[in-house]
Amino acid sequence: MRFDIISVLPELLESPLNHSIMKRAKDKGLLEVYLHQLRDYATGKHKQVDDYQFGGGAGMVMKPEPIAACIEQLMSERNYDEIIYTSPDGQCLDQQLCNRLSMKQNVIILCGHYKGIDERIRQKYITMEISIGDYVLSGGELAAAVLVDSIGRLIPGVLNDETSALFDSFQDDLLAPPVYTRPAEWEGMKVPDVLLSGHEKMIDDWRHDQSMERTKARRPDLWERFQNGV
Ligand code: ADE
């Protein structure tokens, strides 16, 4: 899968996307991430990428021309399945959306800044707007990093044990059960006997019960969805 990320601050993305699982995915050739400095597509002496908003009001708006030039350049090189704009106005990212996006081949992510992008870019190019939560970030870069990480790890072969993503929290609308490692007793607290029993069916049932209890207690919204099977 290939991501092309357009940003005025691509440096913000370098570290999160070049370590751990993301680095391994790239090294294995399963994930490609290209960062594009929007300013490189701006014309004029000052390489201006933002301007005052028509109608007045505080805050600058990202100009349409450099964004269009960058997107057009990319679209002339390959077809894109989605052109995503990271914005608090967007559809909220969840595991189902990550699953769906992990099946795409080529995706552009445009990172917003300032007051946002000129509306005409949204109309002409953006196929999907995604928010990573109901709060406002100072720019879309961290949201883009969250997108690439949460989607990239779902690409088959990226995780060592391929089944492990299937058991993540949210994959079946339930939170993950508690996990333990050695020692079997620590600070007077014991690992539940069932996990030491070696009895696979009992362990699976215990984990499922724990997942349900945890979801019911912590995330009534997910619990409702799980019970309704939607
Ligand atoms: N840009 C600013 N806030 C954001 C959010 N919550 N999600 C995605 N992009 C954003």
pLDDT (tens digit, 0 to 9) for every residue of the chain, 230 residues total? 999 999 999 999 999 999 999 999 999 999 999 999 999 999 999 999 999 999 999 999 999 999 999 999 999 999 999 999 999 999 999 999 999 999 999 999 999 987 899 999 999 999 999 999 999 999 999 999 999 999 999 999 999 875 677 778 787 889 999 999 999 999 999 999 999 999 999 999 999 999 999 999 999 999 999 999 86
C-beta 10 within 6 A of ligand 1: no
**Taking Cα atoms as reference points, which of 177, 173, 171, 93 lies closest to residue 128?**
93
Q: Which CATH superfamily is domain 2-152 in?
A: SPOUT methyltransferase, trefoil knot domain (3.40.1280.10)
AA identity, residue 148: V
Q: Whose CA is nearest to atom 10 of ligand 1?
A: 87
Q: Which atom of ligand 1 is nearest to the CA of 112?
A: 1
Ligand 1: residue whose CA is nearest its atom 6:
88
**Ligand 1 proximity of 87 Cβ (cutoff 6 Å):** yes
For position 164, what pLDDT does the model report? 72
Going by C-alpha positions, the residue among 152, 143, 11, 16 that lies closest to residue 89 is 143
Counting from 1 in the atom list of ligand 1, the atom nearest the Cα of 138 is 2
CA distance 99 to 107: 14
Other beta carbons less than 10 A from residue 97's beta carbon: 16
Could you tell me the pTM of the whole model? Answer: 0.94
Q: Is 145 in the pocket of ligand 1 (CB under 6 A)?
A: no
Task: Find out whether the beta carbon of 106 lies less than 6 Å from any atom of ligand 1.
Answer: no
DSSP run (H or E) holding 69: helix 64-77
**Do residues 139 and 117 lie in contact, with contact meaning Cβ atoms separated by under 8 Å?**
no
- Quick one: which of 157, 16, 52, 146 has its CA closest to 94? 146
Q: Which of 58, 119, 52, 59 is nearest to 89 (CA)?
A: 119
Six-digit token pair at 9?
A: 């601050």
**Contact 140 CB / ligand 1 (< 6 Å):** yes
| Distance, CA of 116 to CA of 140 (rounded, Å) | 10
Q: Can you list the positions of beta strands (E) in the chain?
A: 2-7, 32-37, 50-52, 60-62, 82-92, 106-111, 128-131, 185-186, 189-190
Which of 136, 141, 142 to probe ligand 1 with, by most ligand atoms within 8 A of CB?
Answer: 136
- Amino acid 220: pLDDT: 96
Domain ranges of the chain: 2-152, 169-228
Q: Fill in the DSSP letter of residue 189.
A: E
Which atom of ligand 1 lies closest to the CA of 86? Answer: 9
Report pLDDT for 162.
56
- Rounded to the nearest angstrom, the distance between the alpha carbon of 88 and the centre of ligand 1 is 4
169-228 CATH: 1.10.1270.20
